[in-house]
Amino acid sequence: MPASTAERPPQQPLWRQLSATAEVLQAVAAGRSATAAWGHAPTDLRPAAQALSSHALRHWGEAQALCSLLATRAPPPAAHALLCLTLALMLGDDAAAQQEGQQRRPLYAEHTLVNQAVEAARRGADTSAQAAFLNACLRRALREWPGLRARAALDPVARWNHPRWWVQQVQNDHPQHWQQILSAASQPPPMTLRVNSRWGTPVAYLQRLQAVGMQATQIGPQAVRLAEPCHVHLLPGFAEGDVSVQDAHAQLAARLLLGLDEQPAPDVQGWRVLDACAAPGGKAVHLLELADVRLLALDVDAERTHRVHDNLRRSTLQAQVVVADAAQPETWWDGEPFDAVLLDAPCTASGIVRRHPDVRWLRRAPDLVQLAAVQARLLAALWPLVKPGGRLLYCTCSVFRIEGAQQIKTFLSRNTDARWCPSPGHLLPGAVGPAEGLADNASRDGDGFFYALLQKIRV
């Protein structure tokens, strides 16, 4: 992310940036998250490792296909990561160039990139023996680039930069829109803010941004999208809780649960509300910004609940935060039913891969069934805690139907006291597909989400 000249650290040599980034990619190939790997990068190289690895992971399918065409035998892991990284950077920013009607825009001068990659290989303890091999592969890539890319594109993994099973699943789930969904997932995400309605309005905050030279647009009731991403500490009022970072579609959760866009809207003041999988706390804070509710924020991960506390403190709001498994109410529930329950269930995160591009390469097809079972267990455990006439909002940041509509249809078949109220359903990245229950001024260009609002029928 850009920073002011005074705060920007000295630019490190490109070969050092490549070395640090290749280590991140090697960690992802070994099954570890990129976020965790960024934390192990040297502090002065961390921003570069984050930016370059994110770009590479969005092009990882094609980069690996090109590597296979250039090397009949896969090199050792460290050299493979460095080679694929360099190829991904050689691919440049195809998507942005196509939108502007231009040719591919390389991120670096190609010969400079190749020279620096070879330098990184020579200096690496695990790659020095492959420096000549890497040099030969990259020089050949420069000579044969158009033909190599044409051959690589025959592989759907390279064409769409997602695992084969993922491509097939999206095709099956969204036959009319699968291409747009996969393409959108490989774009860098926008930076969207949520203005704290207790302290200000989007219009007023746009003026604050303009005063410090930042351009932005209002895209929802509280949503503001920046023209260019920036570090959060450069945002006016961020430290004081005036604004938070949250995707436009994620901002719908609190409004849907509280029924703020319904006619007539329910009187929610004093409601007892459960956020069942609360960490890192964005939706919990949003609920408190919108209404004076009694909120219980629950999460099974003790480490991640620290983020909930941090977000609450920054926003000067209060909630009861408990570390517990939402699927085991007998260990934490006091017996008083809830007016509303937010179940932002664990899922594949297939809807937010433009923000976390490593997810697509870390997930496996069996994860779908395993996570769907977790979601069903949470629904079954939490539904009895909703009072008659109360509501439960089920949501996942997923584009897969097994984690969305299929899950809810199965739940309704087993719970005759549940009614599926008008709600958005599947919101797909790339602003494609219909969506019910959205306010007219809600953005349709957010992350992939599924929303189902359920009401408990009074008997």
- Cβ burial of 437 (10 Å; 0-12, 13-18, 19+) is middle
Q: What are the pLDDT digits (tens) for 427-443? A: 998 755 544 444 444 45
Cβ neighbours for 292, distance < 8 A, ≥ 6 positions apart: 269, 270
Per-residue confidence (pLDDT) for residue 429, from 0 to 100: 85
Burial of 319-347, coded b for 16+ CB within 10 Å and e otherwise, reads: bebbebebeebeeebeeeebbbbbbbbbb
Backbone angle region of 31, left / alpha / beta, with phi > 0 → left and psi within -120 to 50 → alpha: left
Together in a domain, 239 and 261:
no
> Does the pLDDT value for residue 445 go beyond 80?
no
Per-residue confidence (pLDDT) for residue 92, from 0 to 100: 84
- 399 near 426, Cβ under 8 Å? yes
3-state helix, strand, coil in the chain (%, to 5): 45, 15, 40
Record the tokens describing residue 364, joined without a space: 């496996």
The residue type of 183 is S
pLDDT category at 458 given cuts 50, 70, 90 is confident
Q: Tokens 């992971």 sit at which residue?
A: 57
Together in a domain, 144 and 87:
yes
The residue type of 242 is D
Together in a domain, 339 and 200:
no
Percent pLDDT > 70 in the chain is 92
Lowest mean pLDDT among 17-21, 91-95, 399-403: 91-95
| 3 domain residue, yes or no | no
Together in a domain, 239 and 376:
no
| 178 domain residue, yes or no | no
Average pLDDT score over residue span 365-371: 98
Average pLDDT score over residue span 108-113: 92
> Does the pLDDT value for residue 359 go beyond 90?
yes
- Cβ burial of 388 (10 Å; 0-12, 13-18, 19+) is exposed
| 6 domain residue, yes or no | no
Together in a domain, 272 and 416:
yes
Q: What are the pLDDT digits (tens) for 258-310? A: 999 999 999 999 999 999 999 999 999 999 999 999 999 999 999 999 999 99
> Does the pLDDT value for residue 9 go beyond 50?
no
Together in a domain, 216 and 262:
no
Instruction: Count the residues in the chain.
Output: 459
Per-residue confidence (pLDDT) for residue 235, from 0 to 100: 97
Residue 299: strand pairing partners: 323
Angstrom distance (rounded) from CA 192 to CA 251: 10
Across the chain, mean pLDDT equals: 92
Cβ neighbours for 107, distance < 8 A, ≥ 6 positions apart: 55, 89, 92, 93, 113
Together in a domain, 406 and 427:
yes
Angstrom distance (rounded) from CA 171 to CA 181: 10
Together in a domain, 150 and 235:
no
Residue 384: strand pairing partners: none
Angstrom distance (rounded) from CA 82 to CA 89: 11
Strand order in the sheet with 386-396: 320-323, 294-299, 272-275, 338-344, 386-396, 449-456, 418-427
> Does the pLDDT value for residue 333 go beyond 50?
yes
* SS3 of residue 223 by DSSP: strand
Long-range contacts of 280-284 (CB under 8 A, 24+ apart): 280/304, 280/307, 280/308, 280/311, 281/307, 281/308, 281/309, 281/310, 281/311, 281/312, 282/194, 282/244, 282/246, 282/250, 282/311, 283/250, 283/253, 283/254, 283/342, 283/344, 284/308, 284/311, 284/312, 284/319
| 184 domain residue, yes or no | no
pLDDT category at 414 given cuts 50, 70, 90 is very high
Q: Tokens 């007539």 sit at which residue?
A: 264
Per-residue confidence (pLDDT) for residue 104, from 0 to 100: 55
The catalytic site residues sit at 397
Q: How many domains are contained in the chain? A: 3
Among candidate residues 242, 249, 254, 248, the one with its CA nearest the CA of residue 281? 254
Among candidate residues 143, 161, 21, the one with its CA nearest the CA of residue 94? 161
Q: What are the pLDDT digits (tens) for 183-204? A: 999 999 999 999 999 999 999 9
Together in a domain, 389 and 301:
yes
| 174 domain residue, yes or no | no
Together in a domain, 217 and 271:
no
Q: Which range of residues forms the domain containing residue 117?
A: 14-161
Average pLDDT score over residue span 130-141: 97
Final residue before a domain boundary, out of 246, 276, 294: 246
pLDDT category at 74 given cuts 50, 70, 90 is confident
| 183 domain residue, yes or no | no
Together in a domain, 221 and 336:
no
Final residue before a domain boundary, out of 115, 140, 161: 161
> Does the pLDDT value for residue 1 go beyond 90?
no
- 287 near 257, Cβ under 8 Å? yes
Domain of residue 206, CATH code: 3.30.70.1170
Domain of residue 129, CATH code: 1.10.940.10
Domain of residue 314, CATH code: 3.40.50.150
Together in a domain, 301 and 436:
yes
Report the Cα 238 to chain-centroid distance in Å.
21
